[in-house]
Amino acid sequence: MNIKNRKSWELPESAVTPEKNYLNRRHFLKTVGMGSGALLGASLAKGASSGFPSILNQDFNGEDLEKTPYDLIKGYNNFYEFTTDKGDVQKLANKGWQTEPWDIEIKGLVDNPLKIEVNDLIKKVGGIEQRVYRFRCVEAWSMVIPWDGFPLKKIIDLAQPKSEAKYMKFTTFYDPKNAPGQRGRSIDWPYVEGLTMDEASNELAFMATGIYGKPIPNQNGAPIRLVVPWKYGFKSIKSIVKIEFVKRRPLNTWQALQPREYGFYANVNPKVDHPRWSQASERVIGAGFFSSRKPTLMFNGYEEQVAHLYEGLDLKKNY
């Protein structure tokens, strides 16, 4: 999705290394006996308020999915606030940019606006859980990621939107001193994204604060980001500082930049190609060279959960 014309989605084979320290979290939790609610409660109360360890939600246990190694998830990133070079994001996002403490503002057409530090927000929504989701970038690469976090619906319940609220608008931080990519003007910073209220209320919409049972690395959008697994990755906005409930559809950053190529909905759809490349298949990051491509699934495999949101909508026009 780069602004130039190079195929930035092509992963150099050098990046494909098997994960040695792969942590099977479910197994780990069973082994150490963290499966019970009482123990979880105790660890939440005494541990850092970031809520770890989290418990795997069995409805999204990803048993049928091959998880992407942690090193690849945290080493192959799109975070244009730092650089367009995927391999360099990790270094630049850990050079002085501070992600704790971190305030997030929730406001707009709501009865209960609030500004709250992320760790306090996690406590307020009752802690975190783990869900394994497919993750599909518009650049035609994919991963499978065990996210830790909580349903976005919990923020909606906390904020109590008024009936005029039709969309949620999400905004990333603006800090050009520590985020060198924001010194350039190719993008109108800060990065903005949006969802309809129906999309945001869907059970899959998730606020991630961790990956593989650890606090989310800076380069993946610390300390809190959105994850909407049935949509292309650019909808999953990182490092959120503001969430607003609004009447009008927000103009999201990529749509503002290239409206012919990127829309508001951005639902994963093998039948609607990007103007510059096919979306019919995807490159599975970490799968090795010969088994690395697989067919793209409608709504990224979450058709059952979300297809009803788009009934009657022409998905070719509303890309």
CA–CA dist 7, 24 (Å, integer): 33
Stretch that binds ligand MTE, among 22-30, 197-205, 234-242, 269-277 (CB under 6 A): 234-242
# residues near ligand MTE by CB under 6 A: 17
Least distance CB 123 / ligand MTE (angstroms): 25
Instruction: Tell me which of 29, 55, 132, 137 binds ligand MTE, using CB under 6 A.
Output: 137
Instruction: Tell me which of 237, 266, 284, 306 binds ligand MTE, using CB under 6 A.
Output: 237
Query: What single-letter amino acid sits at 203?
Result: E
Grouping H, G, I as helix, E, B as strand and the rest as coil, residue 110 is strand
Which letter, b or e, does each residue of 74-108 get, where b requires 16 or more Cβ atoms within 10 Å of its Cβ? bbbbbbbbbbbebeebbebbeeebebeebebebeb
Grouping H, G, I as helix, E, B as strand and the rest as coil, residue 124 is helix
Environment class of 154 (CB within 10 Å of its CB; exposed 0-12, middle 13-18, buried 19+): middle
172 binds ligand MTE (CB under 6 A): yes
Least distance CB 171 / ligand MTE (angstroms): 9
Cβ closest to ligand MTE, residue 29 vs residue 141? 141
300 binds ligand MTE (CB under 6 A): no
Cβ closest to ligand MTE, residue 77 vs residue 255? 77
Cβ closest to ligand MTE, residue 9 vs residue 310? 9
Cβ closest to ligand MTE, residue 234 vs residue 245? 234
CA–CA dist 67, 86 (Å, integer): 20
Residue appearing with tokens 């780069």: 2
Instruction: Tell me which of 213, 233, 263, 286 binds ligand MTE, using CB under 6 A.
Output: 233
For residue 165 the two structure tokens come to 């609220």
Contact partners, residue 144, CB within 8 Å, separation at least 6: 62, 65, 66, 67, 68, 132, 133, 134, 135
Cβ closest to ligand MTE, residue 53 vs residue 229? 229
Which letter, b or e, does each residue of 182-192 get, where b requires 16 or more Cβ atoms within 10 Å of its Cβ? beeeebebbbb
- Binding string, 174-203, against ligand MTE, x = CB under 6 A? -----------------x------------
> Using CB under 6 A, which residues numbered 145 to 164 contact ligand MTE?
none
Residue appearing with tokens 């495999």: 301
CA–CA dist 96, 84 (Å, integer): 19
Least distance CB 233 / ligand MTE (angstroms): 3
302 binds ligand MTE (CB under 6 A): no
Instruction: Tell me which of 119, 130, 218, 220 binds ligand MTE, using CB under 6 A.
Output: 220
> Using CB under 6 A, which residues numbered 50 to 109 contact ligand MTE?
77-81
268 binds ligand MTE (CB under 6 A): no
Contacts with ligand MTE by CB under 6 A lie at: 1, 77-81, 137, 172, 191, 220-221, 233-234, 236-239
